[in-house]
Chains A and B, each alone.
Chain A
Amino acid sequence: MPTNDALMGMLPEHLLLGGIVAGIVTVLLRRGRTLALPVSILAVLASAGAAFWLGMNGTTAEPFPGQFAVTPPVLMAKGMLLLLAVPVLLMSRTEFEEGEFSILLLSSLYGLSLLPSATSALVLFLGLELMSIPVYALIVLAFRRPQSAESALKYLVLSGAASAMFLMGISLLYGSSGSMSAGTFAQALSATDALSRTAVVLVIVALFLKGAVVPFHAWAPDTYEGASIPVTAYMATLSKAGVLIVAWRLCDGAELSGPLVSIVAVLPLISIVWGNITAIRQQSLRRMIAYSSIAHAGYLFYALLGPSAGRLESITFYLVVYAASNLLAFAMVPNTGTDEERDRLDRLNGLFHRDPLAASLIAVAMLSLAGLPPLPGFTAKFLIFQTVVAAGYSAYAVLGLVGSFLGLYFYLRVIQRMFMNTGEGVRTTGTGEALARTAGVLCLLAMAALTIVPGWALARL
């Protein structure tokens, strides 16, 4: 149906756009402010539903030739990532009662949803920026602590630097090849001339910066710590997912070779080791998650080492599992005290005795992040390391696995705090507590489904 291409292929995006407009209208109508959240959730659900529906029907379309194309696996991946925004929106009620949060989040999601289908470097750049810019505002939106402003500024500057490098890289490629298509980058990966090499390295460094890979990671802990819990949850999961999707898009169809391998393997490996070791020392939950996410960025970039064929599969599966686990943990963090107090890890001491459900679910999330079977975090990690071995990089796989072992300790420490230490504090039910818990339970159900029938999800990617 070539005439409907533009409408049908971009249906998920159109629905998101509709949600943004509806959200703005409800916020403008003073009395409708509280409606913004349900409207946004509906929009996200409709958008994800549309993506799944199109994907199941086997839709292949190119609404904007050379710029934007959809295929069933891409649509399925898009649908899964969009669904993950639902728990973020649900837990936002604990911090933000007004509707601005939902609108900004939806705008950022619009950028994210462009990424998997973008076939030109320009759309990738646009999507990445659309995804990042609302986040600067989201960080300062709560503005309850001086750190928030600092945190937003840090993110703004570093994200800006990354964008500049990305733009520089793709413009070099455009200059030499005259094409903006994402495939140009894939070709440049195997080219040996200085211009292509420079362009490739610039783009990879930009992605490492945005994805917080060592040594470009230093902004992440500070930024995460300054943001409020729902925003940190969003940054650690979905906005990281966006960066990985860009990386997948650019390298699609190409196998890494030559000196590039050492960049794409060694830096993520250092990331895994450094992130896991440094996380042990943290006293702040958000800083710990930040270092953990630095380590997880390492595993994710590892997936690029493998053969091109199974890449989207392993990256999306990992992203969904990782995001669901992280969001589960954030959703269940008890909503007592100020934002700053909530963030302290020792607030979790003895949580099991005050709130068994929350403690048990956080424990499940931690074990999944640590990659212990039978939780889906294990399956996801297994998939990645399997592709690394399949590509012949057994030594990197072993080192990466040993690096992942280092992470076990700090995840277990969280469980020890909740179940084995004693701590004082009373259980309170604050704003949106029930909604946040619903978010947690939704994540848990997703994780359970991915544990019992991982093959179902994988077969559709």
Chain B
Amino acid sequence: MSDAAMLNWVLFLPLLGAAGLLVLRGNGAAVRIATVAVMTVQFLLAAVLYVHFDATVEGLQFATSVPWIGEWGVSYAIGMDGLNVLLVLLTAFLGPLVVLGAWHSIERDVTLFHVMVLLLQFAMMGAFLAQDLFLFYVFWEAMLIPMFLIIGIWGGARRSYATVKFVLYTAFGSILMLAAVIYLVQALRNAGGVTSFAFTDLMQARLPLDVQSVLLAAFALSFAIKVPMVPLHTWLPDAHVEAPTPGSVILAGVLLKMGTYGFIKLGFPLFPDATRAFTPVLMTLSVVSIVYGACLALVQTDIKKIIAYSSISHLGYVMLGLLSLDLAGIQGAIVQMVSHGLVAAGLFLLVGMVYERCHTRELAAYGGLARQMPVYAVFFVIFTLASVGLPTTSGFTGEFMVLLGAFNAAWPQHLDGTSLPLVLAVTAVSGVILGALYMLRFALTFLFGPARAPHQPLTDLSLRERSILAILVVSIFALGLFPDGALRKTELAARAFQVRLTTSQAGTAQAGAMQAGTAVDAHAN
């Protein structure tokens, strides 16, 4: 099998799996085993591709491009590059773990649930792999439907409210992005006569700054809701709290990366001039997300909400790293995405495991778990420390590089007279301290505080639960101790991103761009 064919299999396996589940209609155990098998094969293929991915080649690898709707210039184009290579591996890696983690927590409508998980996996993989804007948008929106059903059917008491809020928030952003997509393609067509949705063609569009700004605003709104960035974050805690454990794991593990991936792959490179103009605003919002998310995590009484708000804070670092436009910062942001995916997935699994035993999410109801569940406590401490960014864990690599990038970017500008970047970088560091504060407070009360409610004797983790967590722990340390391999795979892409954003686009072809912009509005009056 050629590598390109293998990549197509990585994308379509979950879809075929979902179709298979519908046709075969097995019992609960058969459905679970089949789903894990499909996901495992997908992961193995993705792992082979990761190994085959040549770090010394810039641009797409294993690419496939077939015209889909020829007349409109829409094509089925997928491929791997330095920006998505780690995220594809992360998505494929978490897939089987999510299903294994849901072994006992999902008991109603088992087939429907696994079909939805497989469809979600298909859509997420497609969004990462897509190299055509139409295709990307289709996958981007297609993620909504299975997630809507996963939270809505298997969720908690206020699931109806949470799902509608989740869908309406994300769909509103997407609608404006759709308008921007249509406008962008039309502007490209008016300027050069090319009708294409391919990323590479769209990157050629040289738009004037004001048009770029409007389009970036539309894209950024959609992506920032998904990240989520303060003040567009309010759907996330609700969605997390009401989602069943596997839903939370997918949400935190992969879905939240969609927003930051959208920025790095599309939002910023498509509109580099506007991005530079908006950097102070976007950077400020990122730092606000870091600090505000951490502060809110500090005062939560619901254990799922603590992790939800900590996600907001951690994804703030990703945004900060991307916006620093410093190579270390950009690469740190990519590592931080993967690291947060692993750590948050682990924390939500841990919370789910204890919820299955005690059926409450109130922090006040817990205490002294370490005595009853020592193995659980060990895992919990490891994930807590990884979340805080203890050296040797992946969290450290990501946060450290992001902060390094932020300071690198801030320093010369500080000498020029503006102190905003430096203030932001320093404030971002305080997020690390706040992070340590809320996570350690959480772990202390949870594991070592005085035992509160008279729980029945709790059984410690089963072999299945231990294995899932152990695999995650190994990957967290692997990324923390040997980040070099992963960093090398992303280096060229991160450099290209940096170059793209630091060289002016509109400046060189202002005149041509003006024509492109005005032609679209020609009939408006």
Contact = CB atoms under 8 A, between A and B. Distances in A.
- Best-buried of B144, B172, B186 by chain A (most CB within 10 Å): B186
A372 B144 contact: yes
Contact of A419 (B67, B144, B149, B175): B149
B152 interface: yes
B168 A409 contact: yes
A373 B182 contact: no
B138 A385 contact: no
B137 A405 contact: no
B363 interface: no
Contact of A408 (B168, B176, B182): B168
Contact of A389 (B67, B72, B109, B520): B520
A405 B172 contact: yes
A402 B175 contact: yes
A349 to B, nearest CB: 12
A408 B166 CA distance: 12
B200 to A, nearest CB: 21
Contact of B159 (A367, A390, A420): A420
Given A373-B137, A416-B163, A420-B160, A392 B520 contact: yes
B23 interface: no
Interface stretch (A5-13, A239-247, A331-339, A452-460): A452-460
A394 B183 contact: yes
Contacts of B163: 412, 416, 420
A455 B159 CA distance: 39
Given A458-B71, A459-B71, A412 B164 contact: yes
A216 B44 CA distance: 60
A232 B71 CA distance: 35
A402 B171 CA distance: 10
A392 B522 contact: yes
A398 B176 contact: yes
A294 B434 CA distance: 53
Contacts of B137: 373
Given A373-B138, A373-B141, A374-B138, A416 B71 contact: no
B519 to A, nearest CB: 8
B182 A412 contact: no
B144 to A, nearest CB: 7
Contact of A394 (B67, B69, B134, B520): B520
Nearest to B171: A408
Nearest to A307: B523
Contacts of A408: 167-168, 171
A378 B112 CA distance: 24
Interface in B115-167: 134, 137-139, 141-142, 144-145, 148-149, 152-153, 159-160, 163-164, 167
Nearest to A255: B523
B179 interface: yes
A401 B152 contact: no
B179 A372 contact: no
Q: Could you say which interface size class chain B belongs to?
A: 35 or more
Contacts of A391: 523
A374 B176 contact: no
Contact of B524 (A392, A415, A459): A392
B70 interface: yes
Contact of B186 (A389, A419, A458): A389
Nearest to B190: A390
Interface in A368-408: 372-374, 378-379, 382, 385-386, 389-395, 397-398, 401-402, 404-405, 408
A419 B113 CA distance: 12
B182 A386 contact: yes
Interface string B177-197: 011001101100100000000
Interface string A205-243: 000000000000000000000000000000000000000
B521 interface: yes
Given A372-B145, A389-B520, A454 B69 contact: yes
Interface residues of A, number: 35
Contacts of B145: 367, 372
Contacts of A420: 152-153, 159-160, 163
Contacts of A458: 69, 71
B172 A394 contact: no
Contact of A404 (B72, B175, B522, B524): B175
Contact of B521 (A372, A392, A455): A392
B138 A409 contact: no
A386 B72 contact: yes
Contacts of B134: 382
Given A373-B137, A454-B69, A405 B524 contact: no
Interface string A332-366: 00000000000000000000100010000000000
A393 B171 contact: no
Contact of B179 (A374, A379, A397, A419): A397
A298 to B, nearest CB: 15
A416 B523 CA distance: 42
A402 B177 CA distance: 11
Contact of B68 (A382, A390, A409, A455): A455
A397 B171 CA distance: 16
A382 B186 CA distance: 13
B179 A409 contact: no
B524 A395 contact: yes
Contacts of A412: 148, 163-164, 167
A401 B167 contact: no
Contacts of A385: 178-179, 182
B160 A416 contact: yes
Contacts of A379: 69
Contacts of B164: 409, 412, 416
A404 B171 CA distance: 11
A458 B144 CA distance: 27
A397 B138 contact: no
A402 B178 CA distance: 10
B179 A398 contact: yes
B170 to A, nearest CB: 10
Contacts of A394: 179, 183, 520-521, 524
A384 B172 CA distance: 19
A459 B70 contact: yes
Given A374-B142, A401-B179, A455 B71 contact: yes
A352 B115 CA distance: 15
Contacts of B144: 372
Nearest to B22: A360
Nearest to A397: B179
**In the complex, which of the residues B148, B178, B183, B189 has the most CB atoms of chain A within 10 Å of its own CB atom?**
B178
A454 B135 CA distance: 13
Interface string B42-77: 000000000000000000000000011111101000
Contact of A390 (B141, B142, B175, B186): B186
Given A373-B139, A382-B182, A455-B68, 14 more contacts: A374-B141, A386-B186, A389-B179, A390-B189, A392-B520, A392-B524, A393-B524, A398-B176, A401-B176, A402-B176, A405-B172, A416-B160, A420-B153, A455-B71
Q: A-B pairs with the 5 shortest C-beta distances? A: A392-B523, A455-B69, A373-B138, A373-B141, A405-B175
29 contacts: A372-B171, A373-B141, A374-B139, A374-B142, A378-B138, A378-B141, A385-B179, A386-B182, A389-B520, A390-B186, A391-B523, A392-B520, A392-B521, A392-B524, A393-B523, A394-B524, A397-B179, A398-B176, A398-B179, A402-B175, A402-B176, A408-B168, A408-B171, A412-B164, A419-B152, A455-B68, A455-B71, A459-B70, A459-B71
